[in-house]
Structure 1
Amino acid sequence: MNPANTVFDVKRLIGRRYDDPTVKKDIESWPFKVVDEGSNPKVQVEYLGETKTFSPQEISAMVLGKMKEVAEVKLGKKVEKAVITVPAYFNDNQRQATKDAGAISGLNVLRIINEPTAAAIAYGLGAGKSDKERNVLIYDLGGGTFDVSLLHIQGGVFTVKATAGDTHLGGQDFDTNLLEHFKKEFQKKTKKDITGDARALRRLRTACERAKRTLSNGTQTTIEIDSLFDGEDFNANITRARFEEINSKAFQGTIQPVEQVLKDSQIEKTKVDDIVLVGGSTRIPRIQKLLSDFFNGKKLEKSINPDEAVAYGAAVQAGILSGKATSAETADMLLLDVVPLSLGVAMEGNIFAPVVPRGNTVPCLKKRTFTTVADNQQTVQFPVFQGERVNCEDNTSLGEFTLAPIPPMKAGDAVLEVVFEVDVNGILKVTATEKTSGRSANITISNSVGKLSSGEIEKMVEDAAKFKSSDEAFSKKFESRQQLESYISRVEEI
């Protein structure tokens, strides 16, 4: 495997700026190269003898394109539409970028839905559970992101009461913590530092991930890697208790969003009927114990497959949206999701003025009136942000738009009505109107980081088609080499 050409974790890049602190931190641990192109992070690889850069949307489109192929083979027909899930805590930029990835892969994206909401559909439709009134907490801890949602389910109506999470917490972080531990162990044993060797780091990370999985079932395991670095072999033992100690801060960090959704939904923890585990990382025993203890020893619900629940829920939603619901239960289903983070604009002094508070059911339309701050002001700028902090610098910038010209008048006389419209995908459109003169202008956010123009999307669609044939040839060559290596290995064993 070529570590510099093996791209993963792209979900942590999509819709983010290059200078985002979390992007900077991830770049330090990734073996592949991420470069800055106009404040957007791009992945740089060597492809067919050339240096090429790909946006996170293009790489996500490759994954979606592969899934499209898998579905077409399974169903025996063309797949042109899809419902795509995203972490509940994805902001507007990340949602729009994900939708763009779907378009690049040749899919008509019917809906973007939140992952824990999709999991709730999978859980709520099982065994006639949707008939009973119940409060269901979805705890979704995957490879790279973490979401908690609290839903009220009754009679096929799924109402999201609150959502919280961390778009930068998951199994990969537990692997990284283990990797750092073993890097120090190796250095202590050999006096050699593997930090700069991408291949050694990739091999060690793979071994760490395997150890993590083993420790979900057993209480100890051994890592063995021949010639890890500079001809030095590496062997080390790790117990489940030590693994839990190394990751104790990260594990404990998953409880705060649980507390947040209970607070936001104004539901006491004793009133939560079911706690549903979703995502591969929920198999870790310590995480299960922390969650159960928080709910006073309550039994956790493990009746749905944590790896498949989100895809199952998305498939049900796709069936409903395409008019192909397979049962009366799904045909009558109604999904009411929420805005995960407040949306608003920056006022004088960079103070955040929320227009759509977090927890608002989508789709929604909210208005707020603003005015001018200077006499004869004819241009008004509206920087749009998403977040919960008073200082806009601490929130996520979604872009900026300008309303001009407006009639000159005294400061404070102009009436500027700003309308925020959030669609069913959780994606935002903003309109501003100057009311005093009756002059109005419809403005939608532009220059949003991660948002692609229709021309850029079309070019990426063409590139994807162009690369497809060379990709297939490369894939066949790689498979042949793997088969040959496997054959040689079997012969050597004989």
Structure 2
Amino acid sequence: MARAIGIDLGTAYSCVTVFQNGKAIVIPNEQGDRTTPSYIAFTDDGRLIGSAAKTQVAMNPNNTIFDVKRLIGRKFDDATVQADMKYWPFRVINDVGKIKILAEYKNEIKLFRPEELLAMTLTKMKEIAEAYLGKKISEAVVTVPVFYNLSQRQAIKDAGNIAGLSVLRIIGEPTAAAIAYNIDKNVSDERNILVFDLGSGNTDVSILKTEQGIIEVKSVAGDTHLGGEDFDNRMVAHFVKEFKRINNKDLSQNKRDLCRLRTACERAKRTLSSSSRASIEIDTLHEGIDFYTAITRACFEELCADLFRSTLEPVEKALRDVKMDKASIHEIVLVGGSTHIPKIQKLLQDFFNGKELNRSINPDEAVACGAAIYAGVLTGDKSEEVKDVFLLDAAPFSLGIETTGGGMRALIKRNTTTPTRQTQQITTDWDNQSDIVIKVYEGDHTMAKDNHLLGSFTLSGMPSAPRGVAQTEVTFDIDPNGILNVSALDKSSGRESKITITNDKTRLSKDEIEYMITVAKKLKREDKTQSERISAKNSLESYCFNLKEIINDKKLTSEIDIHNKKKMIGTIEETIEWLEINQRAVKAEFEQKLIQLEELCSQIMRKL
């Protein structure tokens, strides 16, 4: 029995898998779908997650949250956040630089951090797996875009913690896909594989060397803000302009109408992957006006031409970084829903001089399957298929410290194999210096200020000495999840100071995480109460209509006299009317009404 699951936590859709009996199994949700929308909705009655949330987005746009993965680990003033906010119907607010999402829940205004919302999707994936496996699950391997920085990776671990999941490992999405490909194809000889992963929110490229079950990431590149959602945005903007040109009306400020248009555009985009033309048909889109139009594949390709071309930039960068030419790549593996787009495939194939692209694995499920396989490896699965699997990942960014003059000294360079530990010596800048402030940065710019400050700490109490005499060892230790620990040791005094990079300004504190865990448990209890309430309401409603149908069937009720028949129908009608008025009654009230109705029927039937 599996002990851990694999989760592809997607921008638009998420997928949960398990490794059993030598293979990765995609677990369907309660609707039978193999992927689940990464949507959360808040209503007057309760909370909806997944398919139920997405289906009501047009009716409840302000309180339906999606694209949370694009917010994780970012600051409010991030340019990409500001750009995306124009397309989101929900409100993103600035809380001292931190991002919070506003929603109305049970007639109260609530503020949620992105980690909380991602935790809700993770909880949903966990529950789907538990329903399938018939046991509690507490461990998972979760995938992320390869270019997620340390803050974003740590935020994913926090989200897992809030969801009650111990995240065994965070691995890059294309790396997970390579694991799935390697197992599926039983590759034994040495091969260079380029995984091109174009999903809803990001473009990822990894070049990996595989041999005898060993998967070594040689280079990674990506854009965490380039994917199918951006193609949708271009189409939405195009049709907003067209609607205004035809009808002289601007629908861009109407959130409900924009949601309906976005849903139609997403559907049209999928159609254009297999057809040259797609229709957009929306009744009473805006101010009672129907919107019937169409878009050709050629028009769609022109709208997104620059974005499509930009997806090749990470490919070029990954090849440059590893000093590899195109001819050295043995396989180009496609992953992610947006790789279905024919123009994307053509651009990629042309870039590799006509080389055939590998479409042998399911692009929508490969990442999740790779996560499940690796979860099996980490939890000691003894299957023949995974006994030799060994993963060597790579650091997506350089990690280093600020030097005198504001420069950046990299201790761990980009694409270094991880986990790794690197040490360098630093010294004092002036005589009798007793403290050294060590600032830790992530990035590849020459000047430290142009990189991402991860955190800083101070080594204090150093003995007096002339400038340049003291010898301090700074050690960077990056674990398999890409989480960084930094320590500094003064060799003469033995004094040591250290930091785990978790104090970024966008990060959650320990107290905040504990509070969110408490809130998550409360929401789960409320969800259960709401589910039981709806079930009781549906049971009463079904009983009423079924009983009414039976009573009206002359063959089945010929022995019931007219008086009793009228009495029963009258009671049923009263109950149905009560249901219409008391839609928000509690579970016990619905159950009591059902008991009363059943007793009445029993009394009448006993008299016959």
Please give the secondary structure, in 2, of the residue aligned with 1:277: strand
TM-score normalized with structure 2 length: 0.76
- 1:331 aligned residue (374, 387, 391): 387
Partners of 2:78 and 2:182 in 1: how far apart?
37
Task: Give the CA deviation at 1:151.
Answer: 0.6
Partners of 1:348 and 1:234 in 2: how far apart?
62
Partners of 2:212 and 2:267 in 1: how far apart?
42
Q: Are 1:89 and 1:167, in contact at CA under 8 Å, matched by a contact in 2?
A: yes
Aligned match of 1:268 = 325
Aligned match of 2:180 = 122
1:297 aligned onto 2:391:
no
Aligned match of 1:42 = 100
1:3 aligned onto 2:3:
no
- 1:31 aligned residue (84, 89, 95): 89
Q: CA offsets per residue over residues 184-238 of structure 1, 9 Å max, x none?
A: 1111112222222111111111111111101001001121212222222222221
Task: Give the CA deviation at 1:76.
Answer: 1.0
How is 1:290-439 mapped onto 2 (pairs within 5 angstroms)?
Answer: 290-325=347-382, 327-439=383-495
Aligned match of 1:79 = 137
1:198 aligned onto 2:255:
yes
Aligned match of 1:253 = 310
1:281 aligned onto 2:338:
yes
Task: Give the CA deviation at 1:374.
Answer: 3.4
Which AA in structure 2 matches 1:437? Answer: S
Task: Give the CA deviation at 1:444.
Answer: 3.1
Q: CA offsets per residue over residues 36-83 of structure 1, 9 Å max, x none?
A: 223211111001111111111111110010111000111111111111
Partners of 2:99 and 2:405 in 1: how far apart?
30
- 2:123 aligned residue (65, 71, 78): 65
Partners of 2:64 and 2:530 in 1: how far apart?
14
TM-score normalized with structure 1 length: 0.93
- 2:80 aligned residue (14, 22, 26): 22
Partners of 1:185 and 1:14 in 2: how far apart?
34
Flag the 1:472–1:198 CA change in 2: closer, same or farther, 3 A.
Answer: farther
Flag the 1:405–1:444 CA change in 2: closer, same or farther, 3 A.
Answer: farther
Aligned match of 2:49 = none
Partners of 1:188 and 1:37 in 2: how far apart?
39
Q: Are 1:342 and 1:387, in contact at CA under 8 Å, matched by a contact in 2?
A: yes
How is 1:213-224 mapped onto 2 (pairs within 5 angstroms)?
Answer: 213-224=270-281
1:209 aligned onto 2:257:
no
Q: Are 2:130 and 2:137, in contact at CA under 8 Å, matched by a contact in 1?
A: yes
Flag the 1:370–1:70 CA change in 2: closer, same or farther, 3 A.
Answer: same
Q: Are 1:160 and 1:338, in contact at CA under 8 Å, matched by a contact in 2?
A: yes
Q: Are 1:223 and 1:236, in contact at CA under 8 Å, matched by a contact in 2?
A: yes
Which AA in structure 2 matches 1:457? Answer: I
Task: Give the CA deviation at 1:473.
Answer: 4.7
Q: Are 1:156 and 1:329, in contact at CA under 8 Å, matched by a contact in 2?
A: no
Task: Give the CA deviation at 1:417.
Answer: 1.9
Q: Are 1:203 and 1:228, in contact at CA under 8 Å, matched by a contact in 2?
A: yes
Aligned match of 1:149 = 206
Task: Give the CA deviation at 1:350.
Answer: 2.9
Partners of 1:400 and 1:36 in 2: how far apart?
24
How is 1:90-109 mapped onto 2 (pairs within 5 angstroms)?
Answer: 90-109=148-167
Please give the secondary structure, in 1, of the residue aligned with 2:385: helix
Aligned length: 480
Partners of 1:49 and 1:13 in 2: how far apart?
25
Q: CA offsets per residue over residues 90-147 of structure 1, 9 Å max, x none?
A: 1000000001111110011111111111100100111322x12111110000010111
Which AA in structure 1 matches 2:151? Answer: N
Q: Are 1:96 and 1:450, in contact at CA under 8 Å, matched by a contact in 2?
A: no
Which AA in structure 2 matches 1:269? Answer: K
Which AA in structure 2 matches 1:369? Answer: Q
Q: % of aligned pairs identical? A: 51
Which AA in structure 2 matches 1:416? Answer: T
Task: Give the CA deviation at 1:395.
Answer: 2.0
Flag the 1:375–1:229 CA change in 2: closer, same or farther, 3 A.
Answer: farther
Flag the 1:399–1:477 CA change in 2: closer, same or farther, 3 A.
Answer: farther
Q: Are 1:16 and 1:449, in contact at CA under 8 Å, matched by a contact in 2?
A: no
Aligned match of 1:169 = 226
Task: Give the CA deviation at 1:476.
Answer: 7.2
RMSD: 1.8
Partners of 1:46 and 1:474 in 2: how far apart?
17
Stretch deviating more after TM superposition (245-254 or 31-40): 31-40
Please give the secondary structure, in 1, of the residue aligned with 2:104: strand
Q: CA offsets per residue over residues 293-347 of structure 1, 9 Å max, x none?
A: 011111110110011101100101111111124x223011111110011011222
Task: Give the CA deviation at 1:446.
Answer: 4.8
Stretch deviating more after TM superposition (175-184 or 375-384): 375-384
Q: Are 1:137 and 1:274, in contact at CA under 8 Å, matched by a contact in 2?
A: yes
Partners of 1:356 and 1:245 in 2: how far apart?
41
Partners of 1:210 and 1:62 in 2: how far apart?
26
Q: CA offsets per residue over residues 378-397 of structure 1, 9 Å max, x none?
A: 33222221111113333222
Partners of 1:376 and 1:118 in 2: how far apart?
51
**Gapped runs of 5+ residues in structure 2?**
1-58, 542-608
Q: CA offsets per residue over residues 356-407 of structure 1, 9 Å max, x none?
A: 0011111100112223333433332222211111133332221222222333
Aligned match of 2:585 = none
